[in-house]
Structure 1
Amino acid sequence: MKPGVLFDLDGVLLDSMPWHVKAWQEAFRALGLEVPEEAIYLHEGAIELDTARKLFEDQGVNPTPEFFREAFRLQKKIFTEKYRKRVKPFPGVEEALRELKREGRRLALVTSSHREILEEVLPGGFLGFFDFVVTGDQVSRRKPHPDPYLTGLSGLRMNREEALAVENAPAGIRAAKGAGLLCVAITTTLPPEHLKEADLIVENHERLFGILRNGRI
């Protein structure tokens, strides 16, 4: 059994991705782009100049740092004003996290969201489940770079053999594997064919937490 578990947030613990995607689509539309829903899901946590350039070049746009700053500003504004109150943890997640803590597991949250967004969308007391939290504004390179997970391991004072990551998107899986972690992917937002780089793919939270609680990985 791995004593440490590092969880992604959006799409893994929070049922938030449909709302983030809507906010991204509206932000891009305001900038004159029509970006397909699946393209945003595939780039979850990694819509940045160095990791999502092709997404915009396919739309005939040469992305600049100024373009990305404006896109992020719009997405954050739209999400905060229209959608953040619709975000909730997936059913059963809080109870499962509580049980993992009772077992003595050390838990980290590793998300590309900024800390201020985290505090706006999470239920009261939710952060108390975690021994360490890594947000996108704490690291110089976000997912798919391994930096967020390396920071999480350091915060838990664990080595890579003692912990595993739970993800739902290609960029997060690559970040976890780049940090040397075993990675479990859950198909909340994308089908299995997009998650093949993970070590194990599970179809729902019942299966995920059943495996974690039974110590099979």
Structure 2
Amino acid sequence: MTSPSPAAVLWDMDGTLVDTEPYWMAAEVPLVERFGGTWSHEQALGMVGLALEDSARLLQNAGVPWGVDEIIAHLTDEVLRQLASTGVPFRPGARELLADLRSHGVKTALVTMSMRRMALSIADLIDFPAFDLVVAGDDVDKPKPHPDPYLQAARELGVDIRDTVAIEDSPNGLRSALSSGAVSLGVPLMVSLDGVGAHALWPSLEGRTTADLRALHAAHTTARTDETQATR
């Protein structure tokens, strides 16, 4: 007898598991202004879901004269400093859903374009072993929106990517999840996910359980099988 699907749930971090996007924005503005530039809220929103290398290049274009690695290290330090002083702002229902998945034996992975040291810091602040695996921005050659981060997570977990659900809050993250073949769930926060192609959009994870993710995965798997049979 096989276990109920999904075999694994793959989580984005910033904006999906934790509401850290305002912390990144708070780190970007003074950095640009230090060198005489300006950084608008609209520019900051345009960085949501981008790989840190791409974000660093945009900050260089705004006048920051540092190298990409130096910018990434500075932003990561600043966000970690804010988290240390204010605590980790989990998104509604995220921690509870993680705990429910673990209690049902579903594998979980954190798939983030933040640096590994930050991802591990967040994971360590959860008061139970929340993840079987962490795939971070410095673990992959091709970041989101490429499918590679999700494919790597499935491979290392030993599961078929089609037997996973990926949870994302940004268009780039969703594109990564969709192109990998995962059943892709969007939970928007700061930017709209309309028209990106998510298999489902939920306004929040609050009150959601393993049963809801199983139903989502089963519904999409059935639809995918029907489409395959119709084309034969």
Q: TM bucket by the smaller chain?
A: 0.7 to 0.9
Do the aligned residues in 1 keep the contact of 2:97 with 2:210 (CA within 8 Å)? Answer: no
Q: Secondary structure at the match of 2:141?
A: coil
Structure 2 counterparts to residues 135-150 of structure 1, below 5 A? 135-150=136-151
User: For residue 43 of structure 2, what is the aligned residue in structure 1?
Assistant: 39
- Counterpart of 2:222? none
Which residue of structure 2 lines up, in the alignment, with residue 184 of structure 1? 185
Distance 1:69 1:39 in 2: 20
Match of 1:158 in 2: 159
For residues 15-164 of structure 1, what are the structure 2 equivalents within 5 Å? 15-48=19-52, 67-86=67-86, 87-125=88-126, 128-164=129-165
Question: 1 CA distance for matches of 2:10 and 2:67?
Answer: 32
For residue 206 of structure 1, give the secondary structure of its aligned residue in structure 2. coil
Is 2:32–2:39's contact at 8 Å kept on the other side of the alignment? Answer: yes
Quote how far apart the aligned CAs of 1:12 are: 0.8
- TM-aligned CA distance change 1:185 to 1:33, over 3 Å: farther
Amino acid at match of 1:142: P
1:113 partner SS: coil
Query: What is the percentage of aligned positions where both structures have the same residue?
Result: 26
For the residue of structure 1 that corresponds to 2:76, the secondary structure is helix
For 1:49 and 1:93, locate their aligned partners in 2 and report how far apart those are by CA, in whole Å.
27
- CA RMSD in angstroms, aligned pairs only: 2.9
**1:196 aligned partner:** 196
Name the CA shift for 1:142/1:162 in 2 (closer, same or farther; >3 Å). same
Shift of 1:148: 0.8
Given that 1:109 and 1:134 are in contact with CA atoms closer than 8 Å, whether structure 2 keeps it comes out as yes
Q: TM-score, normalised by structure 2?
A: 0.76
SS at match of 2:206: helix
Q: Does the alignment pair 1:2 with 2:6?
A: yes
Q: CA deviation at 1:124?
A: 3.4
Cα distance in 2, alignment partners of residues 48 and 95 from structure 1: 28
Deviation at 1:101?
A: 1.7
Question: 5+ unaligned residues in a row in structure 1: which ranges?
Answer: none
Which one-letter code corresponds to 2:115 in the other structure?
Answer: H
> Unaligned 5+ residue runs, structure 2?
218-232
CA contact (8 A) 1:14 1:88 kept: yes
Q: What residue identity is the alignment partner of 2:108?
A: L
Q: Distance in 2 between matches of 1:75 and 1:51?
A: 10
| Count of residue pairs the alignment pairs up | 212
Q: Determine which structure has more spread, i.e. the larger CA radius of gyration.
A: 2
Matched position secondary structure for 2:44: helix
- The residue aligned with 2:230 is none
Shift of 1:164: 1.7
